[in-house]
Amino acid sequence: MMKRIICFGDSNTFGYNPQDLYGEPYKNPWPSVLGGIIDAEVLNWGVNGAETPDSDFRRKLKLDRLAKNSPFDLVIVMYSTNDILNAVYPDVRKIEENLEMLVLDIKEAFQGVVIVLVVPPVLRVSEDNQVIASKKMRKIIRGIAEKDCVIFADVNACELEMTYDGIHFSERDHQKIAVYLADVLKTNAPGNEEV
């Protein structure tokens, strides 16, 4: 059974609530809800505005943070939204390369740790290039997961509502995602069948 899980991601992992005038996050973002469902300690390392780590230095910072918080059983990674939003013509191949390097670095540094690679939400914004890039991420992330033997998950399977900005999860979305990921772990993560 999973005891300790670390979640890397952006504002959708952090729990950013774009509807809060004071910038307060949701009280129960999906990592917190997931911890309650599967009875595990889940560390939410989501950061507003975070992109895929695009250099050895940035990946090393993540690995160092993981090392300081070892031991842990599982790492959940959900990135690409800000890489796409911060570019007029998003480079999905660069995002793919960044994600794969992060996965490989984690696997090498922490052998035996289970990794779940999660497809972020398809964007609902007015910039067509960004919407198209976000739709491509499902195939890209599935390809990385299959190639590098990690668990694949796609939050778009949850019939997301999203907030008015077309970028962030609603509070109800966070609940749905936690239930979905708990099921993914139950089905795919070794030693977690009793969740």
**β-bridge mates for residue 44, sequence order:** 7
pLDDT in tens, 38-76: 999 999 999 999 999 999 999 999 999 999 999 999 999
Residue 193 falls inside a structural domain? no
The residue range of the domain holding 66 is 4-188
pLDDT value of residue 192: 61
pLDDT lower than 70: segments of the chain: 1-2, 191-195
The verdict on residue 12 lying in a domain is: yes
Residue 80 backbone zone (phi > 0: left; psi -120 to 50: alpha; other: beta): left
Count the neighbouring beta carbons within 10 Å of the beta carbon of residue 56: 10
Q: Residue 21 falls within a domain, yes or no? A: yes
Q: 157 in a domain, yes or no?
A: yes
pLDDT at res. 172: 98
Task: Tell whether 194 is covered by a domain.
Answer: no
In-domain check, residue 107: yes
Residue 57 lies in a domain: yes
Residue 15 sits in a domain of what CATH number? 3.40.50.1110
Residue 17 φ/ψ region, left for φ over 0, alpha for ψ in the -120 to 50 degree band, beta for the rest? beta
Q: What is the DSSP string of 166-193?
A: SSS--HHHHHHHHHHHHHHHHHHSTT-T
Q: Which pLDDT does position 194 carry in this prediction?
A: 52
Q: In this predicted structure, what is the pLDDT of residue 195?
A: 47
Is the residue at 73 inside a domain? yes
How many folded domains does the chain comprise? 1
